Amino acid sequence: MTFEPTPDFAASLDAQDPLRDFRDRFHIPPAPDGSESIYLCGNSLGLLPKTARAAVEQEFQAWEQRAVEGHFHGASPWMHYHEMLAPAAARVVGAKPLEVVVMNNLTTNLHLLLISFYRPTATRYKVLMEGGAFPSDQYALESQVKLHGFAPDEAIVELLPRPGEHTLRTEDIEAKIQELGDSLATVLLGGINYYTGQVFDMAAITRAGHAVGATVGFDLAHAAGNIEMHLHDWDVDFACWCTYKYLNSGPGGTSGAFVHERFAYQFDLPRLAGWWGHDAKERFQMKKGFKPMPGAAGWQLANGQIFPMAIHQASLALVDEAGGMSALRRKSEQLTAYLEFLIRRLQLPATQLEIITPSEPAARGCQLSLLVHQNGRQLFDHLAAAGIVGDWREPNVIRLAPVPLYNSYRDVQRTGEVLAAWAKAE
């Protein structure tokens, strides 16, 4: 497609957009001047679906009217609430319902899965991760490694881009995995790097990890609800994600966890246990001796947090209604390509501003990360004053993420105009 920078062109793309009506299903926060903001920050916190309030209200009603009986009766008995969410959550990541459970928060799930899948021995104890990974992932791994008696500097190996490059090459990741060979216990990468927006080739990395006998897991915080995935077919061992970014399920919302079907009936796999992971048929017999549920559900510790899960349920329903991840992705690729076009046509020197996100659509999701070498904070404030919400990552990156469910081509076009005005003034 050849893009044009004009409002008319953007309006014509919006008119043809099969997802255009979904914008009205969200609350768009106001800009400083009272008009709708241009919200490009779904990579950090997705917007509130209008259906979320009613979904939570339904559970308030159940609590009000049925109290303890709400666990067993009503439209969505709380005892089984997590089972209701698994099929839709599984569709988002390309998994079977048995492989997915919705529970806890992301970092908590990361720990629970590492307990099972990072099983170091005296000779095979290394973990491979991205250099500069999201801090929570760094701390989680550091503490896991120490828990097993290893020194983080010794056990954690970080992947860094080649000099002069901003993103990792798949062949370099594969080569590092081969080099570590028998010493590599686990590979843990983001599905998408939060800083650069780079999508990793999860299938290739999983193959490479398995070839040397390592387990392979992904933190999908920036991938879930953003790109299409096929965790089951890719043979990924484990994964987890938050639901408040591209899955619009509210601040601190619930999280998803994936454990491949291969492990569904490996009941002796080491894990931390709680009664909600116990075989549901016997859970209330209160017997001694933990007997896990098959599949990812066997990693649950505690009875589910119904209110955040109710929001997630409403949000997942919107993804399905929109036609699932393939429909979202189709628009997303074009929306982000349009933003990229508008930035590139400013022809700013790389010494001033660079897009560090890969330009091949398959190697990125919604987000573009702009590395602003000069006056980055000023540009960010200029965008904010014009009602454009992105986010700022120290030391000098602005992340802008047009989201296919609620952003329009006109949002992107106006962002281009505001950037052009800034570039002219610079």
Residues 42, 49, 190, 217: which binds ligand PLP (CB under 6 A)? 190
Tell whether 111 is in a known binding site.
Answer: no
| CA separation for the pair 116, 185 (Å, rounded) | 12
Q: Which is nearer to ligand PLP, 226 or 336 (CB)?
A: 226
Site string for ligand PLP, 129-148 (x = CB under 6 A): -----x-xx-----------
**DSSP letter for each residue of 164-222:** T-SS--HHHHHHHHHHHGGGEEEEEEESB-TTT-BBP-HHHHHHHHHHTT-EEEEE-TT
**DSSP letter for each residue of 229-279:** --HHHHT--EEEEESSSTT---TT--EEEEE-GGGTT-TTS-----GGGB-
For ligand PLP, the binding residues in 71-110 under the rule CB under 6 A are: 105-107
- Shortest distance, position 222 Cβ to ligand PLP, whole Å: 5
Determine what percent of the chain falls in helix, strand and coil, rounding each to the nearest 5: 45, 15, 40
Tell whether 137 is in a known binding site.
Answer: yes
Tell whether 275 is in a known binding site.
Answer: yes
Phi, psi of 56 (to 5 degrees): -70, -40
Read off the tokens for 177. Answer: 């995995």
Q: Which is nearer to ligand PLP, 244 or 338 (CB)?
A: 244
Specify the stretch interacting with ligand PLP by CB under 6 A; choose among 75-83, 200-208, 216-224, 263-271.
216-224
- Does position 340 bind ligand PLP by CB under 6 A? no
Read off the tokens for 114. Answer: 């590492």
Question: In 3-state terms, what secondary structure has residue 371?
Answer: strand
- Does position 197 bind ligand PLP by CB under 6 A? no
Q: Which is nearer to ligand PLP, 112 or 353 (CB)?
A: 112
Tell whether 107 is in a known binding site.
Answer: yes
Tell whether 106 is in a known binding site.
Answer: yes
Q: Which is nearer to ligand PLP, 190 or 250 (CB)?
A: 190
Q: Which is nearer to ligand PLP, 190 or 404 (CB)?
A: 190
Q: How many helices (H) and strands (E) does the chain have?
A: 13, 15
The binding site for pyridoxal 5'-phosphate consists of 106-107, 134-137, 219, 222, 244, 275, 303
Residues that bind ligand PLP (CB under 6 A): 105-107, 134, 136-137, 190, 194, 219, 221-222, 242
